[in-house]
Amino acid sequence: RGRVEEPVVELEVVLGRRVPLRARGRALGVLTVASRSEGRYSPAEIALGEEFALRAGLVLDNAWLYRDAERRSAMKKTITDNAAACLVLVDAEDRATFMNPAAVTMTGYRLAELEGRRLHDVLHGIEAPSGPSAEADEPPWSSPTRAREDTFVRRDGTSFPVSCNVA
């Protein structure tokens, strides 16, 4: 429906050459080059066909890699968006880089509100208006301990118990 069907055109091929489409050491397909002229392909034409096949193979491989990455990303988003657990990723300086919807609901903070702020200070209510407290203790994720019970403070000032797991 809505497609225009092109008639199949049969060519009388006199000269043909197949060039493999390859990427990362794998064969992805074959490019067939055909001509209705008699004679041989020149070395320059053969080199051009091989270069075209090489680039076409890379384009195909990149498209497939991109499609697979998009699928994995969508799956991770589905999992994290629907997880009941509070999931927060932090960088080496204790700044939040990811929060799932459960984390936003539990803490009352959106990721954009935490930008540039130490997550530990914010969630312990020890962040001074001018910045983090000098005597702030270390966040549970900075130690080799993999799990720890703690209490966090929501944006509205109420507290709630948590079990922090570092992965």
Per-residue pLDDT tens digits for 110-155: 999 998 899 989 998 886 544 444 444 666 555 666 677 889 999 9
Q: What is the dihedral of CA 107, 112, 116, 122, to 10 degrees?
A: -10
What is the rounded distance in angstroms from the CA atom of residue 130 to the CA atom of residue 121? 12
Contact of 15 with 49, CB cutoff 8 Å = no
Per-residue pLDDT tens digits for 40-87: 888 898 899 899 999 999 999 999 999 999 999 999 999 999 999 989
Q: Are strands 96-99 and 88-90 parallel, antiparallel or unpaired?
A: antiparallel
The pTM for the full model equals 0.59
